[in-house]
């Protein structure tokens, strides 16, 4: 069963105003009611919060579809969802209202929901709260965790397609915020491209918004003007840049969703989410009472090495030649082995300094801490 | 260097057009004595309606007309409440802004990521080859070309035509209109609605000619920039144009520099239009009010504590 809360920002605003009074009273006591030590056990409802609309052809839609996979896997479970949940205290209030409705497993699906998620987890030891994409630093509470795919792996593969396709050797990457996840993606994209085309360089433009189509239009126009002929991005809404790139006759590498219909000619490939298996498994683990101490009670990352990556490569576009597909298949196999990583040493940063020495293969946790651009990326991180 | 300047200015025109149309609409309303803080809402309903109608009918021109009508409809609510019900202009305007945000989020969901036909840039032969001015002014979409006409026409109309005089009088000395048998309320209402139509047109330009997409809240504060702009352009249409392109250019600086590999702090760049607005307001201070239409001064002064 699935219940959808339609919450445009203004509705959230109003709803939150109404909730403030109720929550300040109800959050204090409800937490310690059941100190069973098995957060989420026997849950009858599960809650999901999304930072954007559930049909953005991107990140939020993928997460929403995952929540619906949980609904079909557990027909008796009530699946509560809330869209457009801001990354502040409002998120905590909305999660609390879901808990008040009986939710014992909560998925906070945006990077910036982490603080609110940890706050809610601390108030409700009987509820398992998992957060998508961020990292809990320090001790992980017994009823919390983060999970994510190693997004940079399929992005590295897409970088190979870009490196092969470019004629100007200039690739463009439009991104929202310089968070670690994005930095890893940009680096992986450049490294993938450089692995098949040493002359390829990636020009980065940031928009400081998860979705500001007008700013994106300006970013795309300027990259194209500078002779960039493959453009990719890391933002929540992707249509503007894909359309601008296609209209200019350049190549697109997608992110978050298969948007090849927006770029029938220039679509190369991309990466997209498939959360179904992971969400269902997290819910199962919690309901069975095994959350605490499980792999999900940590900063859990799944990639080509550890198993099925929830971030998968999108279908190829018409212009991608067989040798490119073969190169990508080979790289994919390599990434699944012990020695395979886009960031295997030697890795040099933009200033030519060796950051990861030859022979070293960083693990997932180390990669997420990379806070510099690798050599070949053109542009600086905002300080 | 000149290439860089060309790109910034060209981006200024591209990105400034929606701000300019909204600000000209606000100028019209304020010259008649009404402040519409709901301009952001008019931009949003124009952006969604324009995109949705373009998607449904296959004609971006139909979208443009529909966007203008939607902006006019929202402004009509403002006019009705403010003029006939004598509601507070600021409270009503802000409420309408939130209403516009909410209603477009609600009905816009179906159009997020949906394809729709839009306006493509058309280079004007010969003119677009002129150095600097060519790419800056004559390599844009048809809506931007149309928008070039709005400010001069408005300037001429306010100054030279009888109906323009009536609008100005409604903003300066509404009692005089009554003496001559005119209904100031109707004239003001007309100006507010026409202003809303211009803002709606600006919104439709944003979604069908610039971003080629609809997304909730996509105007990202441009309606508020427009309202601020009217004040420091001293309610003069031609200055509004200059100000709108200046703000557009400020928004364009970051991508222009970044696409060339220069380091830019986008967060600081984002704040720049608002910082500049504050600075200008601080510098001109009370002189702002001296340039204001008389009837508008009453509205402003009722909200200041002197």
The whole-chain average pLDDT of chain B stands at 90
Give the span between the Cα atoms of A373 and A187, in whole angstroms.
6
pLDDT at B1: 55
Using the 8-state DSSP alphabet, how is residue A289 labeled? T
Tens digit of each residue's pLDDT (9 = 90 or more) over A313-331: 889 999 999 999 999 999 9
Going through chain A in order, the beta strands assigned E by DSSP cover 2-5, 45-49, 78-82, 103-108, 128-132, 144-149, 170-175, 201-206, 230-234, 251-256, 267-273, 299-302, 311-313, 347-348, 354-356, 377-378
pLDDT at B298: 80
Give yes or no for A264 touching B (CB within 8 A): no
Give the span between the Cα atoms of B88 and B80, in whole angstroms.
12
Q: Which residues in chain B have Cβ-Cβ distances shorter than 8 Å to A207?
A: 266
Residue A129 backbone class (left: φ over 0; alpha: ψ -120 to 50; beta: rest): beta
pLDDT category at B287 given cuts 50, 70, 90 is: confident
Domains of chain A (ranges, CATH numbers): 2-149+275-302 (3.40.50.2300), 152-273+311-378 (3.40.50.2300)
Chain A and chain B share a number of CB contacts under 8 A equal to: 140
Residue of A nearest to B213 (CA): A240
Give yes or no for A36 touching B (CB within 8 A): no
Give yes or no for A205 touching B (CB within 8 A): yes
Percent pLDDT > 70 in chain B is: 97
Task: Give the containing element (helix H, strand E) for A317.
Answer: none
Give yes or no for B261 touching A (CB within 8 A): yes
Q: Residue B259 and residue A206: Cβ atoms within 8 Å? A: no
Residue A225: how many CA atoms within 13 Å on its side-chain side?
21
Judge whether residue B152 has pLDDT over 60.
yes
Q: Which residues in chain A have Cβ-Cβ distances shorter than 8 Å to B263?
A: 379-380, 382
Tens digit of each residue's pLDDT (9 = 90 or more) over B177-217: 888 888 889 999 999 999 999 999 999 999 999 999 999 89
Q: Which residues in chain B have Cβ-Cβ distances shorter than 8 Å to A57?
A: 112-113
Tens digit of each residue's pLDDT (9 = 90 or more) over B157-170: 999 999 999 999 99
Give yes or no for A228 touching B (CB within 8 A): yes
Task: Give the containing element (helix H, strand E) for B140.
Answer: strand B139-140
Task: Give the containing element (helix H, strand E) for B92.
Answer: helix B89-108
Give the span between the Cα atoms of A302 and A82, in whole angstroms.
26
Question: Which residues face A49 on adjacent strands?
Answer: A82, A108
pLDDT at A230: 98
- ipTM score: 0.86
CB nearest to A8's CB, from B206, B216, B262:
B216
pLDDT at A37: 62
Give the span between the Cα atoms of B182 and B188, in whole angstroms.
11
List the 54-73 stretch of A: residues with Cβ below 8 A of B.
55-58
Q: Residue A84 and residue B105: Cβ atoms within 8 Å? A: yes
Q: Which residues in chain B have Cβ-Cβ distances shorter than 8 Å to A211?
A: 215, 218
Q: What residues of chain A score a pLDDT lower than 50?
A: 1-35
pLDDT at B303: 55
Using the 8-state DSSP alphabet, how is residue A373 labeled? P
Q: Residue A222 and residue B15: Cβ atoms within 8 Å? A: no
Tens digit of each residue's pLDDT (9 = 90 or more) over B62-79: 999 999 999 999 999 999
Per-domain residue ranges of chain B = 2-113+141-301
Give the span between the Cα atoms of A261 and A278, in whole angstroms.
27
Q: Residue B98 and residue A10: Cβ atoms within 8 Å? A: yes
Ranking A9-23, B75-89, B278-292 by mean pLDDT, the lowest is A9-23
Instruction: State the nearest Cα–Cα gap between A19 and chain B, in angstroms.
Output: 19
List the 34-93 stretch of B: residues with Cβ below 8 A of A.
none
Long-range contacts of the stretch A142-146 (C-beta < 8 A, 24+): A142/A37, A142/A39, A142/A292, A142/A293, A142/A297, A143/A39, A143/A40, A143/A291, A143/A292, A143/A297, A144/A117, A144/A118, A144/A297, A145/A291, A145/A296, A145/A297, A145/A298, A145/A299, A145/A300, A146/A114, A146/A298, A146/A299, A146/A300
pLDDT at A47: 97
Q: Name the residue with tokens 């600081």.
A: B268
Give yes or no for A340 touching B (CB within 8 A): no
pLDDT category at B2 given cuts 50, 70, 90 is: low
Tens digit of each residue's pLDDT (9 = 90 or more) over B93-119: 999 999 999 999 889 988 987 889 999
3-state secondary structure at position A369 = coil
Residue A46: how many CA atoms within 13 Å on its side-chain side?
33
CB nearest to A203's CB, from B7, B261, B270:
B261
> Nearest Cα to A267, choosing from A202, A314, A214, A324?
A314
Q: Which residues in chain B have Cβ-Cβ distances shorter than 8 Å to A56?
A: 112-113, 215
List the 172-231 stretch of B: residues with Cβ below 8 A of A.
206-207, 210-213, 215-220, 222
Q: Residue A9 and residue B101: Cβ atoms within 8 Å? A: yes
Residue of A nearest to B14 (CA): A218
Give the span between the Cα atoms of A355 and A349, in whole angstroms.
7
Q: Residue B113 and residue A219: Cβ atoms within 8 Å? A: no
pLDDT at B112: 84
Residue A196 backbone class (left: φ over 0; alpha: ψ -120 to 50; beta: rest): alpha
pLDDT at A323: 95
Q: Which two tokens stand for residue A36?
A: 């069973």
Spell out the CATH class of B2-113+141-301: mainly alpha
Q: Please work out, in degrees rounded to the nearest 5, the angle formed at the alpha carbon of residue B264 by the alpha carbons of B261 and B265.
A: 150
Residue by residue, DSSP assigns B28-58 as: HHHHTT---TTHHHHHHHHHHHHHHHHHHHS
């Amino acid at each position: 069963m699935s219940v959808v809360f339609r919450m445009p920002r203004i509705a959230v605003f109003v709803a939150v105003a109404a909730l403030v009074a109720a929550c300040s009273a109800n959050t204090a006591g409800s937490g310690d009611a059941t100190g069973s030590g098995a957060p989420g056990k026997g849950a009858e409802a599960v809650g999901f919060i999304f930072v954007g609309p559930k049909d953005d052809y991107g990140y939020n839609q993928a997460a929403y579809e995952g929540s619906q996979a949980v609904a079909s896997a557990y027909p008796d479970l009530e699946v509560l969802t809330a869209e457009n949940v801001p990354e502040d205290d409002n998120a905590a209030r909305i999660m609390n209202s879901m808990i008040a409705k009986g939710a014992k497993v909560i998925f906070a699906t945006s990077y910036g929901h982490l603080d609110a998620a940890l706050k809610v987890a601390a108030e409700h030891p009987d509820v398992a709260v998992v957060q998508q994409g961020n990292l809990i630093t320090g001790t992980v509470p017994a009823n919390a965790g983060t999970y994510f795919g190693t997004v940079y792996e399929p992005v590295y593969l897409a970088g190979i397609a870009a490196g092969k396709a470019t004629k100007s050797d200039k690739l463009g990457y439009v991104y929202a915020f310089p968070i670690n996840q994005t930095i890893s993606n940009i680096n992986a994209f450049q490294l993938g491209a450089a692995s098949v085309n040493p002359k390829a360089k990636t020009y980065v433009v940031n928009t400081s918004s998860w979705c500001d189509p007008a700013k994106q239009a300006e970013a795309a126009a300027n990259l194209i003007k500078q002779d960039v002929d493959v453009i990719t991005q890391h933002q929540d809404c992707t249509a503007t840049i894909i359309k601008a790139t296609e209209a200019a006759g350049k190549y697109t590498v997608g992110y978050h969703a298969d948007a090849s219909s927006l770029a029938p000619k220039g679509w190369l490939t991309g990466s997209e989410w498939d959360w179904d298996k992971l969400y269902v498994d997290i819910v199962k683990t919690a309901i069975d009472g095994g959350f605490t101490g499980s792999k999900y009670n940590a900063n859990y990352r799944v990639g080509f090495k550890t198993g099925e990556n929830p971030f998968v490569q999108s279908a190829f576009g018409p212009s991608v030649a067989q040798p490119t597909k073969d190169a990508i298949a080979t790289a994919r196999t390599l990434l699944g082995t012990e020695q395979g990583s886009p960031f295997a040493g030697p890795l040099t940063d933009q200033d030519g300094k060796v950051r990861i020495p030859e022979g070293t293969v960083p693990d997932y946790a180390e990669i997420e801490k990379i806070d510099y651009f690798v050599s070949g990326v053109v542009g600086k991180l905002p300080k | 260097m000149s290439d860089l300047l060309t790109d910034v200015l060209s981006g200024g025109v591209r990105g400034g057009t929606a701000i300019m149309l909204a600000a000209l609409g606000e100028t019209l309303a304020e010259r008649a004595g009404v402040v519409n803080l709901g301009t952001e809402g008019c931009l949003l309903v124009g952006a969604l309606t324009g995109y949705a109608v373009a998607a449904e009918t296959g004609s971006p021109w139909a979208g443009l007309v529909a966007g203008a009508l939607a902006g006019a409809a929202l402004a009509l609510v403002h006019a009705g409440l403010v003029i006939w019900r004598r509601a507070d202009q600021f409270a009503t305007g802000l409420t309408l802004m939130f209403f516009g945000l909410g209603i477009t989020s609600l009905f816009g969901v179906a159009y997020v990521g949906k394809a729709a036909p839009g306006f493509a840039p058309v280079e004007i032969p010969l003119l677009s080859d002129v150095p600097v001015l060519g790419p800056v002014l004559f390599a844009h979409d048809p809506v931007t070309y149309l928008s070039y006409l709005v400010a001069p026409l408005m300037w001429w109309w306010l100054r030279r035509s009888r109906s323009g005089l009536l609008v100005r009088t409604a903003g300066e000395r509404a009692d005089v209109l009554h003496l001559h048998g005119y209904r100031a309320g109707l004239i003001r209402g007309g100006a507010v609605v026409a202003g809303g139509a211009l803002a709606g047109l600006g919104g439709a330009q944003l979604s069908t000619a610039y971003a080629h997409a609809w997304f909730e809240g996509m105007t990202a504060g441009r309606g508020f920039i427009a309202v601020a702009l009217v004040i420091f352009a001293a309610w003069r249409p031609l200055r509004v144009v200059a100000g709108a392109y200046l703000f557009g250019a400020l928004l364009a600086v970051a991508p222009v520099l970044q696409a060339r590999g220069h380091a830019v702090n986008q967060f600081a760049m984002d704040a720049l239009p608002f910082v500049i607005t504050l600075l200008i307001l601080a510098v001109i201070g009370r002189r702002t009010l001296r340039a204001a239409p008389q009837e508008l001064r009453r509205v402003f002064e009722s909200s200041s504590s002197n």
